[in-house]
Amino acid sequence: MSETSLDRETVEEYARWFRALADPTRIRIMRFLSGRLEPVPVGEIVDHLRLNQSTVSHHLKILYAVRFLTRRRAGASMRYAINPRCITEFPSAADILIGAPLHSCQEPASS
């Protein structure tokens, strides 16, 4: 598959994905959440990363916007988890370069 076969929407989505991961704090958040079976409250992420809540919330917002994370309200707090579809569908840079099959990172349907 050649570069010209990537439609504009797909290229823009991939660019958003890579921009979202172009920050060390966001990579740390993704790594921390990847080891959790249940959604994690923001406070636990703050404590683990030893950053202030506004900083963590800013990064969570970016990761959620590109659908790397899911979130749900639990009382007064939000809980975040890795979007399981992104784990299987996020293309590596090598996949893009060699033309591996393309996928979209959509949030899973609610059950």
pLDDT-based confidence at residue 100 (cuts at 50, 70, 90): low
Which of the two residues, 6 and 27, has the higher pLDDT score? 27
pLDDT in tens, 26-78: 999 999 999 898 999 999 999 999 999 999 999 999 999 999 999 999 888 89
Residue 1 has pLDDT above 70, yes or no: no
Q: What is the DSSP string of 18-84?
A: HHHTSSHHHHHHHHHHHT-SS-EEHHHHHHHHT--HHHHHHHHHHHHHTTSEEEEEETTEEEEEE-H
pLDDT at 32: 96
Distances (CA, A) of 33 to 18, 54, 82, 99: 18, 18, 6, 29
Q: Give residue 57's identity as a one-letter amino acid code.
A: S
At residue 69, what are phi and psi to the nearest 5 degrees?
-120, 150
pLDDT at 3: 46
- Of 79, 92, 73, 86, nearest to 37 by C-alpha is 79
- Average pLDDT of span 9-31: 88
Residue 84 has pLDDT above 90, yes or no: no
